Amino acid sequence: MAVNVMYFLSILFVMGFVCLSAKPSPVYGGLTLVVSGGIGCMLILSQGGSFLGLMVFLIYLGGMMVVFGYTTALATERYPETWASSMIIWGTLLLGLIMEFLLLYWWASNDQIEILVDCYNMGEWIIYDDESAVGFLSEDPAGVAAIYSYNCWLMFVAGWSMFVGIFIAIEITRGN
């Protein structure tokens, strides 16, 4: 069952990027990025990384929603082009989807789908406390804890990078 979920989500994931690369206007590019990002979070979630999936969904997609809001606000077209508004975009989209399904068919006929099953069985996202205790900890919160404890300088670098990122974005868009 779980493999089927992953299989389905993977198809949707690629489909999102096909839609993105055949986007008719930037607004829909943002939209498909949000959709694919959400599906990516669900992929992580379905493998057991519940904390990571939730965090990425809330923070990354939260930011993406802001960007999406800005692009929508900045797009001055009142009637943006959609996928169905011109035959060429429609054809590109269809071609991409057909390519995806052909590739999928080729994989399935060569028994390559098993890769997904292998991925799914790569191991639980659980680490054990030690032999005497019976504590369980999921791997992703453990990693976060590790970053905060003995990787504090990494946090400093990451914080500075985040600050510089927003600073530079403001610096180059403020104009003269």
Partner 1 sequence: MNFLSKPIIYSTLIMGTLITLFSSHWLLMWIGLEMSMLAMIPIMMPNFTPRSTEAATKYFLTQASASMLLLFSIMLTMTYSGQWAIMQHQNQMASFMLTISLMMKLGLAPFHFWVPEVLQGIPLLPGLILLTWQKMAPLAILFQSFSTINKPLMLTSAILSVLLGGWGGLNQTQLRKIMAYSSIAHMGWMAAILIYNPSIMMMNYIIYTFLTTSMFSMFIMYNNTTTSSLSHTWNISPLLTAMMMITLLSLGGLPPLTGFAPKWLIIQEMMKNNNIILPTAMAMVTLLNLYFYMRLVYSTSLTLFPSKNNTKIKWLYQHTKHIPLLPVTLVLSAFLLPLTPMTNILF
Stretch that binds partner 1, among 7-15, 103-111, 126-134, 152-160 (CB under 8 A): 152-160
Using rule CB under 8 A, residue 70 touches partner 1: no
Q: Based on CB atoms, which residue is closest to partner 1, 76 or 173?
A: 173
Question: Which of 91, 114, 158, 159: binder of partner 1 (CB under 8 A)?
Answer: 158
Question: Which of 105, 106, 148, 160: binder of partner 1 (CB under 8 A)?
Answer: 160
Stretch that binds partner 1, among 14-22, 72-80, 133-141, 154-162 (CB under 8 A): 154-162
Which amino acid is it at 7? Y
Using a CB cutoff of 8 Å and minimum separation of 24, what contacts does 52-58 make? Answer: 52/140, 55/140
Using rule CB under 8 A, residue 172 touches partner 1: yes
Alpha-carbon gap, residue 111 to 107, rounded angstroms: 6
Phi and psi angles of residue 35, each rounded to the nearest 5 degrees, phi first: -65, -50
| Distance in Å, CB of 78 to partner 1, minimum | 26
Angle at which helix 2-21 crosses helix 87-109, to 10 degrees, equals 150
Using rule CB under 8 A, residue 123 touches partner 1: no
Stretch that binds partner 1, among 34-42, 50-58, 71-79, 159-167 (CB under 8 A): 159-167
What's the DSSP call for residue 136? Answer: E
**Cβ count within 10 A of residue 123:** 9
Alpha-carbon gap, residue 176 to 174, rounded angstroms: 7
Using rule CB under 8 A, residue 65 touches partner 1: no
- Residue 65 · residue 37 · CB < 8 Å: no
Judged by the rule CB under 8 A, the positions of this chain that interact with partner 1 are 154, 157-158, 160-161, 164-165, 167-168, 171-172, 175-176
